[in-house]
Structure 1
Amino acid sequence: MPFALLKYGLGSEYPFEKHADLPPPTALKKRYDVVIIGGGGHGVATAYYLAKYHGITNVAILEKGYLGGGNTARNTAVIRSNYLTSEGVRFYSESVKLFRDLSNEFDFNIMYSRRGQLTLAHTDSAIRAFRQRAEVNKHFGGKTELIDPQQIRELVPTLNMYPGQQPVLAGLWHMDGATARHDAVAWGYAKGATQRGVELHQLTEVTDVLVRDEKVWGVKVRQGSAEHVIECGIAVQAVAGHSSLLAAKAGFRLPIVTYPLQAMVTQPVKPFLDPLVSSPAFHCYVQQTGRGELVFGGGSDPYPLYNTRSTMELKEELLAHAVELFPFVANLKLMRQWAGLTDMTSDYSPIMGLSPVENYYLDAGWGTWGFKSTPICGKTMAELVATGKVPDLIKPFGVERFSEFRQVNEMGATAASH
């Protein structure tokens, strides 16, 4: 190491901004223009765009745990836009575009890495479905194409092309596939929002939503043993797996069922896998992190549950499929296993926009798509709050679509089928 670099690194006087520093906690005010319930990626992103682009700063983010500690901290940080429907592709393509420049916008490294995603087809019917997805993606500006086995071998030389007697026949190659540090995304948005005057209140649980004449007017919160009533003009619900529970406090039901979703990671090894590889037929996806760990994930648990426990059953099933795809990983040690809560709708698309309660806005039903939608969700929800009009990009995801039979069917668009 050069001496000058060592001196610079150990010196106490040099230009350096502690980017991740947040303001110290403040006392809750009696009233805010906007209350955002949930301090995950979506909540802090909404607050950031409200403050930066709409000048709305009398905003409180209320998080019952800690910043980004819910589903934001319990995902595998995949970014992509290779969905089935035109509505989904347009929406997630805009999110991918925003992700690319977030580090520059925050002046804070989110460790964005464009690596591409490869989804494997083992049957003729899967090839037909992938061809359709590729064409939809191309039509709306995405970079997705169908590739043959030889191209797959060149992309992933270590992949077993004949896993479980189901040969790999083709692949959906999504060049826009990427990863980013999930906690860095949350901290970057939180930093930008709080620097502009937004208040972030951690360890502050919303225990009730206060509605009068079908219009929200406040929330009841708990901080430690103290309880407070906070008035607000607008409330935004962004609580991931607890969406239906919070909506019930506001007096209405959401068409959501909540399931645990598990993932796990191995000890680090030398880099050998650049693309994200998934197989819907094997209910498994594999990626290698920048630190060399292998991340395994799959479908959500088969039964509803509000619990983030890990299970031996899922571990055995998921790892058996991963070993089929990459046989040599059988020699690796598993380091961690975790779970999050996914709030699933019947059409596997989110619920965004208006609710039956006036001035109470919904950001829910994300299933396994939540992290990858963080920037565009924050931007569109902020526009909704600021203008009172639902942006065209999220109109298809309104809760009224279920009663009007206008579902946006994204079933099967996940990296591992549910």
Structure 2
Amino acid sequence: MPFGLLKYGLSSDYPVDVDLPPPKELKPSYDVVIIGGGGHGLAIAYYLAKYHNITNVAVLEKAYLGGGNTARNTAVIRSNYLTSEGVKFYSESVKLFQNLSNEFDFNVMYSERGQLTLAHTDATVRSFRQRAEVNKHFGGRTDMIDRQQIRELVPSLNLDPGHLPVLAGLWHRDGATARHDAVAWGYAKEAAKRGVEIHQLTEVRNLVIEGGRITAVETNRGTIQCGCAVQAVAGHSSVLAKQAGFRLPIISYPLQAMVTQPVKPFLDPLVSSSALHCYVQQTSRGEVVFGGGSDPYPLYNTRSTLEMKESLIASGIEMFPFLAKAKLMRQWGGVTDMTPDYSPIMGESPIENYYLDAGWGTWGFKATPICGKTMAEMVASGGKVPELIQPFRLERFANFQQVNEMGATAASH
């Protein structure tokens, strides 16, 4: 190994594969145009190329790869949802995450740590029992635990914060984290290797609709014809849908998080409390991450605010009082596209050959692999929606068949 590193360091041509090829001009047309170069868009492109041999694909990103919500989350992976539809979907995503590093030959730093969600009321305890049983039914490792078990699991946690003592907890062993930018780059690297074109700094300015179907996409670098298109633009989903001529049941809200300077390791699981509107985790570098609910007003902006900082700090200190002396290092925000039933929208749109990957709210990162795989399957089949994502089609709002996941977030919105 030392001699190999020395040879690599002294080599004039660096014998290593480049992850992404240099930028090139847009072609006049593509079989598939994917709008959005975040984790979801790149995953769809990768699975199209790998499993369906569809490589005449362009991924269009108005800024840089993974620079939207993929880079603006807290990288939590879990499947402890409320509904059978949600649990089945996210469980499949967890399974795919577990093998991503091997599949990419690229370390995404997947770390299974478990997630502990705290119950402060009798009503929450009852709902947690139901969640645990639904998770177990579909193969998830989720159990109810009492105060003593919580104390053994997280000795530094304050079990009696103010007027909200902890009564029990939902312990989800499958809870994990991964490096969000590594996931995006892993998908980009493997998609590009298979012939997919990835175009950064390419902003979509208009969608050309003719005869009820999409035929072309206008960008700041020219117009390209397409056989079909997929929109995967996270918080700006409703804006792009409006350009296509239809309305999505989505309202976008900022979501903020912050992180402290590194401290010695004290917390392995992810700990969350919907009553305190806060969740806490410690990264592999020792930083303590605080996250919470969305801002209370719609806005397409990723700015951070003092109000949310004060709220998260207050709740975090109630959970871990000794963190009062920790120093904040940075604060950031993303834009979440929230649906009425707190579940995503995947599948067809009112425009023929124009497919939706939207409405992800605060749970988009954890769905990256399975969303990419199922959306690619749908595109390759010409619009046949896979069974796993049938419940998340847009038409559910017209048919009153919502998949209500309200309350399944790590911190209530």
The equivalent of 2:105 in structure 1 is: 107
Equivalent position SS for 1:204: coil
Shift of the 19–182 alpha-carbon distance from structure 1 to 2, 3 Å rule, reads: farther
Shift of the 19–402 alpha-carbon distance from structure 1 to 2, 3 Å rule, reads: farther
**Distance across 2 between alignment mates of 1:86 and 1:21:** 38
Contact 1:19 1:108 in 2 (8 A): no
**Distance across 1 between alignment mates of 2:312 and 2:154:** 20
Amino acid at match of 1:216: I
Amino acid at match of 1:39: G
The equivalent of 1:414 in structure 2 is: 409
Unaligned runs of 5+ in 1: none
1:273 to 253, 256, 267: 267
1:10 Cα shift? 4.1
**Distance across 2 between alignment mates of 1:287 and 1:330:** 15
1:166 Cα shift? 1.2
Contact 2:60 2:202 in 1 (8 A): yes
**Distance across 1 between alignment mates of 2:78 and 2:231:** 24
2:386 to 387, 391, 406: 391
2:136 to 138, 143, 156: 138
Equivalent position SS for 2:220: strand
**Distance across 2 between alignment mates of 1:76 and 1:44:** 19
Equivalent position SS for 1:416: coil
Amino acid at match of 2:334: G
2:241 to 244, 247, 250: 247
Normalised to the residue count of structure 2, the TM-score between the two structures is 0.97
Amino acid at match of 2:205: T
The equivalent of 2:45 in structure 1 is: 47
Contact 2:8 2:15 in 1 (8 A): no
Q: Could you list the per-position Cα deviations for residues 65-112 of structure 1 after superposition, in whole angstroms to 9, with x for gaps in the alignment?
A: 000000000000000000000000000000000000000000000000
Greater shift, 132-141 or 162-171, is seen at: 162-171
Amino acid at match of 1:271: P
1:12 to 8, 11, 31: 8
Contact 1:20 1:188 in 2 (8 A): no
Taking only aligned residues, the RMSD between alpha carbons, in angstroms, comes to 1.3
Runs (4+) off by over 3 Å:
7-11, 13-20
Shift of the 73–59 alpha-carbon distance from structure 1 to 2, 3 Å rule, reads: same
The equivalent of 2:371 in structure 1 is: 377
1:11 Cα shift? 3.8
Contact 2:203 2:219 in 1 (8 A): yes
1:18 Cα shift? 4.8
Amino acid at match of 1:399: L
2:397 to 398, 402, 409: 402
The equivalent of 2:319 in structure 1 is: 325
Equivalent position SS for 2:155: coil
The equivalent of 2:190 in structure 1 is: 192
Which structure 2 residues correspond to residues 11-410 of structure 1 after superposition, within 5 A? 11-12=7-8, 18=16, 21-223=19-221, 228-388=222-382, 389-410=384-405
1:8 Cα shift? 4.7
**Distance across 1 between alignment mates of 2:346 and 2:232:** 10
**Distance across 1 between alignment mates of 2:252 and 2:73:** 15
1:167 Cα shift? 1.0
Shift of the 229–399 alpha-carbon distance from structure 1 to 2, 3 Å rule, reads: same
Contact 2:253 2:295 in 1 (8 A): yes
Equivalent position SS for 1:403: helix
Contact 1:8 1:14 in 2 (8 A): no
Unaligned runs of 5+ in 2: none
Count of residue correspondences? 410
1:19 Cα shift? 6.5
**Distance across 1 between alignment mates of 2:93 and 2:216:** 31
**Distance across 2 between alignment mates of 1:20 and 1:84:** 43
**Distance across 2 between alignment mates of 1:341 and 1:214:** 30
Normalised to the residue count of structure 1, the TM-score between the two structures is 0.96
1:165 Cα shift? 2.4
**Distance across 2 between alignment mates of 1:287 and 1:124:** 25
**Distance across 2 between alignment mates of 1:272 and 1:233:** 52
**Distance across 2 between alignment mates of 1:92 and 1:17:** 39
**Distance across 1 between alignment mates of 2:8 and 2:392:** 51
1:12 Cα shift? 2.6
Percent identity, aligned pairs only, is: 75
**Distance across 2 between alignment mates of 1:176 and 1:90:** 13
Contact 1:19 1:191 in 2 (8 A): no
**Distance across 2 between alignment mates of 1:12 and 1:101:** 28
